[in-house]
Structure 1
Amino acid sequence: MRVTFVCPTPVVGAQVIQGYADELAARGHEISVVRLRERAGLRVPGWSRRGRVPSSVRVVTTARLTPDVVPDGDVVLATDASTSKLLPALSDRHGRAGQLVQSREQWEADPGLRLAVPKIATSERLAGVLNGLGVPSSAVTVVSQGLNLAVFRPPHPALPRGHRVSVLVGPDSGAATALEALERTRALLPTMEVTAFGAGRRPERLPLWIRYLRALPTYELVRQVYQRDAVHLGDAVSSAQAMACGSAVVGVRGSAVEDFAEHDRNSLLVEAGDVNTMAESLVRLMLDRDLRTRLTAGGLRTTEAMDSSDSALALEKALHSWTSVVAPQR
């Protein structure tokens, strides 16, 4: 099967897309990724599989998204609102058009999600959102987020993590609340070390006392961030990855993090915008070693069931079903 993922820059949810693409390629499919050329200040890590091993995924970088840059195939997946605008212009030679929905925020206004094409949602929660927008259940297939557990795993031997926190700085990460909570936590724990990471240049709003790492390859993200920090603040993707590497997670209720995170079982959850409770949660996790140990153990049990090979198999089955039925006229 020939599958094309069409991505913006920055590639929102890049590591999930990369995981799907690499796993499908490993299963013998011809996989292409078409992505916009990087804008000033943005850098997208190169494609890699299982750490430093090159992938067979074909990556096409372009200044403009047009039908001419999309290879012939069996399926073409838009991954956000901007790339979805390309779908009506594609022809039969490009394959069956569809959408990969990782978060509601990626899709801006509702019309893009109401396009009459089949959709992959990465959680039951997102499938419910789509149904609420009028998308029929028959058009939505849930393929849960997967993790490459050969890459995202705790360090061996275990390392002391101290008062270290990692925070994702991105469009859907809730970074503003997290940064304010970190400022308050630092007043109580001046020894706290914070590492922020993201795809672009260091944000101007980021305090100078926070270290910033830009566009790390996956294996460096694991080594320099997830395996060394005690607590993580981020979106659903980064939180799952950090959890699999042994970090404790502080997440936001009502966000995609709740697809796998449960309060006081494998994480601590706070209400959106609740800076005080987020700061209190950070302090608790760094001072209460027993609590952190219990939650990280729960997190490891949770992520053991999130193997990317299982997700790839479910995605493969869904895409095969798309190509076996007659596509509606675009």
Structure 2
Amino acid sequence: MRITFVLHLFPRGPIGGFRVVYEYANRLAATGCEVTVVHERWRGDVREAMRDLWHGRSQPRLRAAVTWFEIDPRVRLMIVPELKPENLPPADVTIATHWPTARLLPHVKSTPFHLVQNYDTWDGVEELHEVLKMDVPKIAVSGFLARTLEDLGNTTVTVIPNGLDHDTFQPPTTDLPRGDTVAMLISKHPSKGFATGMKALEQVRNKIPGLRVNAFGVRPRPGDLPEWMTYHHGLEGKTLVENVYHRSAVFLCSSSTEGWGLPAAEAMACGTAVVSTRNGGVEDFCTHNENGLLCDSTDSAGLAQAVTRMLEDDELRTKCVEAGYLTAARMDWSASARSLMSFIRAFHSTVS
């Protein structure tokens, strides 16, 4: 079977939604499928567009540019000047992976699917809802997203949760004392709750003056990040695990909305206790007072209290960490890929 995934751009660093697509591409290629991942050339910046043009001239260049993920050599990568049906390769199945790419689906000649990884309302909902209401089979990565799609009138929705790379995201062989240390993903994207998270950490620091923060992100250190926060730029894989997750007692997720919440899942797998907002996706695997602590998405004071409690209550933190290990262990990319393939085959057979 020929399967094409469509991404809206070629990534410049480790991004969770892209990792999900590459994970699926690798696993489907391993089953014998002919898999192509198509990216649209960077637009609006001549320098970045030229960079994409240069990388796109050969498979080795494209693969070398994705330094943070090992893509199976059987997976074909492409960069096209614009996402149009005529620029896509011949395929039996086309999978859109972000709502703007799903606008292609009514016009492709293959069986269309929409992999829904988030509910992107920050740029307005009218066009988003128009796309999400299209009569196309949808794969939601969380129950939160599936319920959102069903509320919009979708009847063909399946939930396939994301997996984890357990060779990378795992507890340390010797877990050294982590102290009063909190990890947090830093992003200025409106969904990530940067201001809420910062307010919470400032309040925690007022109560625990020795607080240390292992902040990390894909972009260079923001200029408004306080000096008392350590910032790790562009870490991925084992370097992220060793320098952030294994050195932090608590992971703080301050997002207003998450389709899934890969960093929180990764933290669980690495023995870092999770404190998170009730943001949708994370609630699929994080249960309050069982394997983490949850607060309302705009409640910085509540987040601060939860982080402080997790740092000071060794019994609670140990309980959440141990339960988190069990939760993360059930996140299996191979099982997710099998579910995806079964869903694809069921619908492709009805229209082919």
Aligned equivalents of 2:305, 2:77: Cα separation in 1: 44
Unpaired segments ≥5 residues, structure 2: 52-64
CA distance in 2, matches of 1:46, 1:299: 29
Which of 178, 182, 185 is 1:168 aligned to? Answer: 185
CA contact (8 A) 2:143 2:281 kept: no
Q: Deviations over 1:92-134 (max 9, x none)?
A: 2xx2121111221279531110112111011222211111001
Distance apart, 1:204 and its partner CA: 4.2
For residues 211 and 73 of structure 2, the distance between their equivalents in structure 1, rounded to whole angstroms, comes to 38
Structure 2 residue 91 is matched with structure 1 residue 73: yes
Q: TM-score of the superposition, structure 1-length normalised? A: 0.87
- TM-superposed deviation, 1:208: 3.5
Distance 2:238 2:313 in 1: 29
CA-to-aligned-CA distance 1:144-178 (integer Å, 9 cap, x gap): 22112222211112232222221123433322211
Query: Cα–Cα, structure 1 residues 177 and 97, in superposed 2: closer, same or farther, change >3 Å?
Result: same
Q: Deviations over 1:43-94 (max 9, x none)?
A: 9853634xxx86543322345323344222222111122222232343x2xx
Contact 1:222 1:245 in 2 (8 A): yes
Question: Could you say which residue in structure 1 is the equivalent of 2:2?
Answer: 2
Instruction: State the partner residue of 1:32.
Output: 36
Unpaired runs of 5+ in structure 1? none
Deviation of residue 289 (structure 1)? 1.9
Give the stretch that moved more between structures: 255-264 or 218-227: 218-227
Separation in 1, partners of 2:168, 2:4 = 24
**Secondary structure at 1:162's aligned position in 2?**
coil
List aligned pairs for 1:236-255, cutoff 5 A: 236-255=261-280
Match of 2:101 in 1: 83
Equivalence for 2:306? 281
Aligned partners of 1:154 and 1:245 also within 8 Å: yes
Q: How does 1:1-330 map to 2 (within 5 A)?
A: 1-9=1-9, 13-37=17-41, 45-46=66-67, 48-49=69-70, 56-90=74-108, 92=109, 95-105=110-120, 108=125, 109-136=128-155, 139-170=156-187, 171=189, 172-234=191-253, 235=258, 236-326=261-351
RMSD of the alignment, in Å? 2.6
Is contact 2:141-2:160 (8 Å) kept?
A: yes
1:12 to partner: Cα distance? 5.7
Is the partner of 1:203 in helix, strand or coil?
Answer: coil
* 3-state SS of 1:257 partner: helix
TM-score (norm 2): 0.82
Number of equivalences:
319
Q: 1:282 to 1:146 in 2, by over 3 A?
A: same
